[in-house]
């Protein structure tokens, strides 16, 4: 199956500038392509992951992907998808984020990958304002720029000249990569269509209309209920394990609805069509087994965090299901209870009732005593039924944590200072 046909089957194509021409080109040779990300933060979240999974698909098919990290474009701000001006970051912040995203990309795709990482700061930082205006600004028609959705949507509230010029810089990226690396395809989100076509127009003006360059955008990812994909009650799901632990990451995918899971298997895994079709049938015939969700969680967690992270996440899940929290390692506690109510306590011995109140498991000592007497409280996996019990915070989990459970599912974490 041609790479473009595969992307169509996966529902991963929103728009292309010339689908037939691109399919014909990719049948003839292994082209170079690129996708960019601006360093607006020091980690990507799973929404960012979609186009880069496509880059990995191209890489596995023998093509030559380039990941562009926007040290230059990130300094001025992309107006795409925003109603107001993006706050400018300091040069120090941009530099830090560029380094963090570069390391994240290397972790995702590996040093031996066919994927190359470039920074557009390298070819823009020494360009003078006069050179920029004479060599490139002269080639852009303001009326055409104003008609681009990314700019037109901002005209009512206003857009700065800085953000207005963003599409010129991104167009320059495509031109530079075309000249230096024979890059013929740019991939991006649907909101990047105007910027992508600006790059194609620039290449055609400078290199001629015969230049074979293309654009491809991916669909906006929505859940079956129409809400935005990738958000939880706690916020975005990050690729950085310090922001979203591998266990939380695994659980996010494991908890997807039957209505969404096959779509996500197509987007976020490299499983072949036959296997995904088989999982789709299992969703219909045996939904209670959640085989598709388990496969999705394993595959995406393995890609982002590695095989060991999958094993650890599955081990944590099994232990928590059985209620045997005493079997968790200190690191696993940190992952599993990252999002539960957490309170700092001292390392001094503490009465169980006082501990329950301190972590907020109960609001009154009377209720806390009732819960203890009724066997509703477990501390570090052991049921406590004596209200006079003294808890030694340093006895478990290397003296760092105390786990309190009220009832069957309500957990609270005490961090030992």
Query: According to the model, what pLDDT value does residue 149 have?
Result: 82
Instruction: Let me know whether 390 and 362 are in one domain.
Output: yes
Counted domains in the chain: 3
Where is the domain boundary, 218, 246, 261?
218
Is residue 88 domain-resident?
Answer: yes
The pLDDT score that the predictor gives to residue 42 is 93
Domain CATH for 390? 3.10.290.10
Confidence of residue 222 (pLDDT cuts 50, 70, 90): confident
What 8-state DSSP symbol labels residue 221? P
Note the pTM of the prediction, 2 decimals. Answer: 0.86
**CATH value at residue 213:** 3.40.50.620
Structural domain of residue 259, as residue ranges? 231-322
231 known ligand binder: yes
Q: Is there a single domain that holds both residue 66 and residue 150?
A: yes
For 272, the 3-state DSSP assignment is coil
pLDDT in tens, 153-165: 888 778 888 888 9
Residues 127 and 153 in one domain: yes
Domain boundary among 195, 218, 241: 218
Tell me, yes or no, whether 157 and 300 share the same domain.
no
- Do both 93 and 130 map to the same domain? yes
* Pair (84, 165) in one structural domain: yes
My answer on whether 161 and 73 are in the same domain is yes
- 332 is a domain residue: no
Q: Is residue 330 included in any domain, yes or no?
A: no
Sheet holding 32-37, edge to edge: 15-16, 214-218, 183-189, 32-37, 64-69, 116-119
Query: Is residue 335, in this structure, part of any structural domain at all?
Result: no
Question: Does some domain include residue 328?
Answer: no
Q: How confident is the model at residue 96 (pLDDT cuts 50, 70, 90)?
A: very high
Shared-domain flag, residues 214 and 239: no
How many CB atoms are closer than 10 A to CB 320? 19
Q: Is residue 314 domain-shared with residue 240, that is, in the same domain?
A: yes
Which CATH number does the domain housing residue 291 bear? 1.10.240.10
Residues 159, 278, single domain; the answer is: no
Higher pLDDT: 309 or 233? It is 309
Q: Name which residue leads in pLDDT, 178 or 318.
A: 178
- What distances in angstroms separate CA 381 from CA 266, 347, 375, one per listed residue? 39, 19, 12
Residue that finishes a domain, picked among 322, 357, 386 = 322
Identify whether residues 199 and 299 lie together within a single domain: no
Residue 212 lies in a domain: yes
Residue 157 near residue 108, CB atoms below 8 Å: no
DSSP bridge partners of 58: none
In a domain, 329, yes or no: no
Q: Is 34 annotated as a binding residue?
A: yes
Decide which of 291 and 153 is more confident: 291
Residue 15 lies in a domain: yes
Of the candidates 26, 122, 121, the one whose C-alpha atom is nearest the C-alpha of residue 73 is 121
Average pLDDT of every residue of the chain: 91
Domain match, 119 and 236 both:
no
List own/partner pairs for 372-378 with CB under 8 A and 24 or more apart. 376/406, 376/407, 377/352, 377/404, 377/405, 377/406, 378/323, 378/404, 378/405
């Amino acid at each position: 199956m041609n790479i473009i046909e595969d992307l169509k089957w996966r529902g991963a194509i929103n728009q292309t500038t010339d689908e037939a021409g691109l399919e014909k080109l990719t049948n003839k040779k292994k082209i170079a392509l690129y996708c960019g990300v601006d360093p607006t933060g020091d980690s990507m979240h799973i929404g960012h992951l979609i186009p880069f999974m496509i880059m990995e698909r191209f890489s596995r098919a023998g093509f030559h992907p380039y990941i562009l990290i926007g040290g230059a474009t990130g300094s001025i701000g992309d107006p795409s998808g925003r109603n107001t001006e993006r706050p400018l970051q300091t040069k120090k912040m941009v530099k830090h984020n560029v380094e963090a995203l570069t390391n994240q990309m290397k972790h995702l795709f590996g040093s031996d990958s066919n994927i190359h990482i470039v920074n557009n700061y390298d070819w823009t930082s020494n360009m003078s304002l006069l050179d920029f205006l004479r060599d490139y600004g002269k080639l852009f028609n303001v009326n055409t720029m104003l008609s681009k959705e990314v700019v037109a949507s901002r005209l009512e509230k206003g857009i700065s000249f800085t953000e207005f010029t963003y599409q010129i810089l991104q167009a320059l990226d495509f031109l530079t990569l075309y000249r230096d690396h024979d890059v013929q395809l740019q991939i991006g989100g649907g909101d990047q269509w105007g910027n992508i076509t600006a790059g194609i127009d620039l290449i055609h003006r400078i290199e001629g209309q015969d230049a074979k360059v293309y654009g491809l955008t991916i669909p906006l990812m929505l859940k079956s209920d129409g809400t935005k994909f990738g958000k939880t009650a706690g916020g975005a799901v990050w690729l950085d394990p310090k922001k979203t632990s591998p266990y939380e990451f695994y659980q996010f995918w494991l908890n997807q609805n039957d209505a969404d899971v096959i779509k996500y298997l197509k987007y976020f895994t490299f499983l072949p069509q036959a296997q995904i079709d088989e999982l789709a049938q299992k969703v219909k015939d045996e939904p209670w087994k959640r085989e598709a969700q388990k496969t999705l969680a394993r595959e995406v967690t393995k890609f982002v965090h590695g095989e060991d992270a999958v094993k650890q996440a599955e081990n944590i899940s099994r232990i928590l299901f059985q209620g045997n929290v005493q079997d968790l390692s200190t690191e696993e506690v940190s992952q599993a209870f990252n999002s539960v109510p957490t309170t700092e306590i001292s390392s001094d011995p503490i009465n169980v009732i006082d501990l329950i109140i301190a972590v907020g498991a109960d609001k009154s000592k009377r209720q806390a005593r009732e819960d203890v007497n009724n066997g509703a409280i477990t501390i570090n996996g052991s049921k406590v039924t004596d209200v006079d019990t003294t808890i030694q915070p340093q006895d478990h989990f290397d003296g760092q944590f105390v786990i309190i459970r009220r009832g069957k599912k309500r957990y609270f974490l005490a961090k030992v200072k």
